[in-house]
Structure 1
Amino acid sequence: MSPDTTGPAVPPGILPPLLEIVVPVYDEERSLETSIRTLHAALAGQFGDRWLVTIADNASTDATGRIADALAAELERVRAVHLAEKGRGRALKHVWLTSDAEVVGYLDVDLSTDLAALAPLVAPLLSGHSDLAIGTRLSADSRVVRGAKRELVSRGYNTLLRATGLRASDAQCGFKAMRSDVARRILPFVEDTGWFFDTEVLMIAERSGLRIHEVPVDWVDDEDSKVDIVATALADLRGVARVLRGIASRRIPVEAIYAELGRRPFEQVHRPGFFGQVLRFGLIGGASTIAYAVLYLGLQLVIAPQVANFVALLLTAIANTWANRHITFGVRGRAGLVSDQVKGLLVFLLAWCLTSGSLLALHTARPESGPVAELVVLTVANLVATVLRFALLRAWVFRRTRRASTAPAAGTSTAARSGADPIHSASAATTPRTGALAAALTKEDAAA
């Protein structure tokens, strides 16, 4: 069933809004009217008349829908959209994909964020400088009032996200905006309909090389919030794994989005920092160790222990090198694939010597040792070899990825060869200039 809409459409001949702010609500009859009137006054004072507020009622069961319709009938530039299903992400996705505004954004109905941050949030998007903008409660310049539990969970969650390569400091702050052309490009690949929607958008945007602007905000936590922060954080971690799988399998086409809208060199986007590499390598190493143990236990029933050890190590080493190439060190494409596997096999031979030596030492010291003792010794040796493998993969096998990350992007190289200013060339190629600042920049370019 299509959503019902109450409120003014853009009349023919009238310019569409520069900014549309969505306020997703579910059973917010107590706070909705006061919050919308406060937001209405703030937008009128900061943005003139080219803005629109959309109240996105996602299947409320109280009087929220009636209050939203009444506000839309009374206040200019306010409309209400009624969706049949719950979900903040679902509501935002629907409204943003159908918006006529140049910039779309949202904020939580409790207005925890000081609305003085609206103009700094939106300005870099209207000027074309950035693609997305988010408020952050974790900046040293932010002023935040909230409980210790929420603070701890928020910081822990965002620390884990940074281990995946996400640079945004506060993924879940309910104060975000993006250019509409960016929204139309990436939202079709965003699956979450609930609270993970924000993080999923940011993960796809960053992996696609989009520029994200952060604004320190003043934030007073809503003590009546209905969000279960622990359950939400756990669900979000499952969402992180799903998005990473989608990017790795290329179901989410970040390369294509980067080619169309991206700004940063693509290799930089994909290569996580040291902590992220350690985390990913550790997860892959753990999975490889389990796979090795299962293979060895099965193989030693039919072949000699040394041969079983070699075959199990060989198979897991090939899979381990591939996984680390793609996931840990962010190498894309087939270039250098064979040489990477050859180097990986050399690292494997070193690991094999280590584990075989431990097995030989066990049999020398305790000739009566059985499969369980062999497995324990080999597993410990394999874990030690895993640490050595990480150092060699990072410093030798995939070292070129760090050199490549300092190389100029293709678009920048073209601009440099032509003698053009690479910054202006990249901006003009990827981002349309909009609004009053755009006119000023255009005049400046013409004068130059």
Structure 2
Amino acid sequence: MRVAVVVPVYRNAATLEPLAARLGLALADRDWVLRLVIDACPDGSAAMAHRLAATDARIQVTELADNVGQHRAIALGLHEEALAEVWVCLDADLQDPPEALPSLVARLTGEPWTAGVFAGRRGDYESRGRHLTGDLHRRLLASITGLPADAGAFLAMDRRLRDAVVAGVRDDGAPSVVLAAGLSGLPLASVPVERHVRPVGVSAWTSGARLRQSLRTLGWAARHRLRTSTLATFLLIGGLGTLAYLLAYELLRIAMPAQPANVTSRIVIAVATTWLNARHAFGVRISVARVIYGSLVLMLAVMAVASAFLAVEQSLRGPSDQLAELVTLCAATVVGTVLRFELMRRWLFRIPALSTP
């Protein structure tokens, strides 16, 4: 199994050599590559990175002409490492210990349903003020995205999450790798990792820069969730499904009678929309068999609601009142939509929460 470790570098010349040495020891029993992304750094980090790469073929260097920031640099590095099976993001300042990397990889590979494992931040690694504000930011972000509340930028990911992070940061403009992971809709977990005080130098993140990044990240997450909320996506898929059903019905009517065309179209579109809702509205993965079975149950439940409404309406007014029948069908559609949403949320797509040890 090949592990690609992507490290953004900005004024970290003093820590690159011990980072590479400790990483090599931590991954001694694995096939690994270290991608150092030099973010237009002026302190000699590029020269040190190239010196390390000249002595070890597993160390690769990407040197950026312009400073693009920590998270975009990570995304560019992830994009360049296309042949790995596991990807890890790690800062170059040694606050996150490379020795913790095997535990992240082991958790990730031991749980096939988990797409990413964060190093849950622990320890007294920064001032009390920074610790409190950082913890508040992470908790707020977790409440919006579903991220683990201790998630930082040290994480291991599979190909699903790596692709989502690259697309989220590089293509969609997400301000952080962590946010892109949280908005991916993929299952995430964390393991506790003790962070250390920075051994040399000071953080490039000033208090003002941290505040601006926090506000930008939280605002971006909130706007994204508003645009792609579960209910909004569910309704959009439902609308597209209705149009697809009408098109499928018209095409099938060329070759078969009305009733078979209607039943076939409804079943095919029900299965397709159930799968789309699982992936894009609720962010879960379920088996094909459960998609088909759930689709049929949901379709029958909605049809039962419509039949019940019509039966009640006809018993009260008789079969000749077409306007009342139309109003009843509209009401049944609203109730059926709510029922379908709740059955998906509470029954079909319900999965056990991933615990964070």
TM-score range, shorter chain: 0.5 to 0.7
Give the superposition deviation at 1:338.
Answer: 5.7
Determine if the alignment matches structure 1 residue 200 to structure 2 residue 184: no
Over 3 Å counting, the alpha-carbon distance change for 1:114 and 1:126 in structure 2 is: same
Distance change in 2, residues 1:105/1:336 (3 Å) = farther
User: How much does 1:247 deviate?
Assistant: 4.1
- Counterpart amino acid of residue 406 in structure 1: R
Residue of structure 2 equivalent to 1:107: 90
Equivalent residue in structure 2 for 1:132, among 116, 122, 142: 116
- Between the aligned partners of 2:57 and 2:278, the Cα distance in structure 1 is 38
Displacement of 1:52 in angstroms is 0.7
In 1: Cα distance, 2:194 partner to 2:10 partner: 24
For 1:96, give the aligned amino acid.
L
Q: Paired residue for 2:159?
A: 180
Does the Cα contact within 8 Å between 1:26 and 1:59 map onto a contact in 2?
yes
Letter in 1 for 2:284: R
Partners of 2:165 and 2:332 in 1: CA distance = 30
Structure 2 CA distance, aligned partners of 1:33 and 1:160? Answer: 36
1:178-220 deviation per Cα after TM superposition (whole angstroms, max 9, x unaligned): 1123322453133599994133223312xx2x11120100111
Are residues 1:50 and 2:31 paired?
Answer: yes
Is the 1:247–1:254 Cα contact (8 Å) retained in structure 2? no
Q: 1:67 to 1:335 in 2, by over 3 A?
A: farther
Instruction: Answer yes or no: is the 8 Å Cα contact 2:117–2:157 preserved in 1.
Output: yes
**CA shift in 2, pair 1:49/1:401, >3 Å:** closer
In the aligned structure 2, how far is the partner of 1:196 from the partner of 1:85?
Answer: 17
1:407 has 2:334 as partner: no
Cα separation, partners in 2 of 1:101 and 1:110, compared to 1, 3 Å: same
Of residues 278, 284, 300 in structure 2, which corresponds to 1:263? 284
In structure 2, the residue corresponding to 1:406 is in which secondary structure?
helix
Code of the residue aligned with 2:160 in structure 1: it is D
Q: By how many angstroms is 1:41 displaced?
A: 2.5
Unaligned runs of at least 5 residues, structure 2: 235-275, 287-329, 353-357
Q: Structure 1 residue 234: deviation in Å?
A: 3.4
Please report how far the alpha carbon of residue 106 of structure 1 lies from its aligned counterpart in structure 2 after TM superposition: 1.3
Give the alignment partner of residue 88 of structure 1, picking from 64, 70, 75: 70
Distance verdict in 2 for CA 1:399–1:150, change over 3 Å: farther
Deviations for 1:44-87, whole angstroms, at most 9, x for unmatched residues? 2xxx2411111111111221111111100102411111122222
- 1:190 aligns to what SS in structure 2? helix
Task: Tell me if 1:60 matches 2:41.
Answer: yes
Aligned to 1:77: 58
List alignment gaps of at least 5 residues for structure 1.
1-16, 266-333, 341-397, 413-422, 424-448
SS in structure 2 at match of 1:220: coil
- 1:30-45 equivalence runs, <5 A: 30-44=14-28
Query: Cα deviations across residues 311-331 of structure 1 (Å, max 9, x unaligned)?
Result: xxxxxxxxxxxxxxxxxxxxx
Q: 1:186 to 1:227 in 2, by over 3 A?
A: closer
Q: Structure 1 residue 135: deviation in Å? A: 0.8
Partner of 2:132 in structure 1? 152
- Alpha-carbon contact 2:175-2:216 (below 8 Å) kept: no
Shift of 1:97: 2.0
Q: CA deviation at 1:132?
A: 0.7
